[in-house]
Amino acid sequence: MISVKDAKNKLYKSVKKMPATIKNISDITGYFLSESIKSPVDLPPFDQSAMDGFAVNFDDTVGNMNNEFSFLIIGEIKAGDKPIKFLKKNTAVYIYTGAAVPINSTCVVMQEKAVVKKGSVTISLSDLKTVSNIRSKGSEIKKGQVALTKGHQINPASIGFLCSMGIDKIKVIDKPILSVLSTGNELQRPGKKLSPGKIYESNSLMLESVIKECGYEISKINSVKDVKDKISFCINNMIKTSDVILISGGISVGKYDLVKEILHNLGVREIFYKVLQKPGKPLYAGKYKDKLVFALPGNPAASLTCFYEYVLPCLNKMSGHSEFELNKKFFPLSKPYELKGEKDLFLKAKIENDMIAILEGQGSNILRSFTESNAIVFLNSGNKLLKKGSYVETHILPKSL
């Protein structure tokens, strides 16, 4: 049986980045750039007014006793209008935010600081500051300059920036597509009266939900009874259409735990099987060519824990994350906790008031306490009493803080 540390190390070494792919920028939020992007244009592409007001050509050789100057208004320029190239001395145009500023403009004066009367505008000398309120051509980025570097994760601001440079397609690291298979004779879909000896199937929809919450897509989701041929057929189909396959249940050591043998027969190479941890000891990880296969424990809380601790980091690494594991911090315990046993522990927990509370209901089958969790506490095996205020390793769940 392998330790948690060794299992994760072996797993991460086997994970490769997904290949680069070209996508429309409307579809790449959350993706990572596979190469640096240079701007194809100056931005802004011309001298641009930063506000509504007056663009003026000021001849400062003309004195005025009151330090006020009048300019003949010769027209207006709206955003999108063909630019007026030059202004005569001591003339002005009304200009709108984003409009092209005439090349020889001294500055743009905001309309609140100008007095308009009979076709002229009067402005104080103190407001006639050279190039004020003008966004100069290329002041944000110049043509040929690196705009976004390789490895940058695309966010909404990145999308806007790319659009402003006229870019509509970009090369990014692709994200893995997943399939989910839930196995077990005892499983029954929710929505109908429960038959004797059956339980409602929860793992497939739970895993679908967490996969989507974490920003990944599912190709197939199935539930199947413990019949060798049916399980084999489903897994073989999923391997053809997915990059990562998650199988829930059927991975322990009972007569009807068929998954490990089926995976071997399909040519899946084992990375590890069984981890010295609680919950989730009967965890399997394997590889088929460049595809990852996980057989997760059937108990729902154990299955979800293994997803967060093993599957999600792999998905993140495949997608280009440099920091791919759950965010790790140390918090003080809100009350004592007695640690016993030879297995490392993953404990459902809640961060409150800058402390961590280990929740009641740590059984591998119990989801109720998981619904209140925003973190998982990781404790190395051993026998000791952790006092209130003891700092413990805390893995923060996605979307929690």
Domain borders along the chain are 4-17+175-319, 20-43+139-173, 48-135, 327-396
Cis peptide leading into residue 44 (ω within 30°)? yes
- Tokens representing 277? 């941890």
User: The domain 48-135 belongs to what CATH superfamily?
Assistant: Molybdopterin biosynthesis moea protein, domain 3. (2.170.190.11)
Q: What is the pLDDT averaged over residues 233-259?
A: 86
Q: Identify the CA nearest to 57 among candidates 46, 71, 47, 68.
A: 71
pLDDT band for 27, please (50, 70, 90 cuts). very high
- Identical fold for domains 20-43+139-173 and 48-135, yes or no, is no
Question: Which homologous superfamily is 4-17+175-319 in?
Answer: MoaB/Mog-like domain (3.40.980.10)
Q: Which CATH number fits domain 20-43+139-173: 3.40.50.300, 3.40.50.970, 3.90.105.10, 1.25.40.10?
A: 3.90.105.10
Q: pLDDT tens digits, residue range 160-181?
A: 999 999 999 999 999 999 999 9
Q: Of the ranges 79-83, 93-97, 225-229, 333-337, which one carries the lowest mean pLDDT score?
A: 225-229
DSSP structure class, residue 34: S
Distance, in Å, from the CA atom of 181 to the CA atom of 201, rounded to the nearest integer, reads 11
Whether residue 363 has pLDDT greater than 70: yes
DSSP character string of 37-80: EE-SS-BSSS-EESSSEEEEE--TTS--TTSEEEEEEEEEE-TT
pLDDT confidence band for 401 (50 / 70 / 90): very low
Asked whether the predicted pLDDT for residue 78 surpasses 70, the reply is yes
pLDDT digits (tens, 9 = 90+) for 109-151: 999 999 999 999 999 999 999 999 999 999 999 999 999 999 9
Domain covering 327-396: architecture: Beta Barrel (2.40)
Q: Give me the mean pLDDT over the 173-192 stretch.
A: 85
Instruction: Please state, rounded to an integer, the average pLDDT across all residues of the chain.
Output: 93
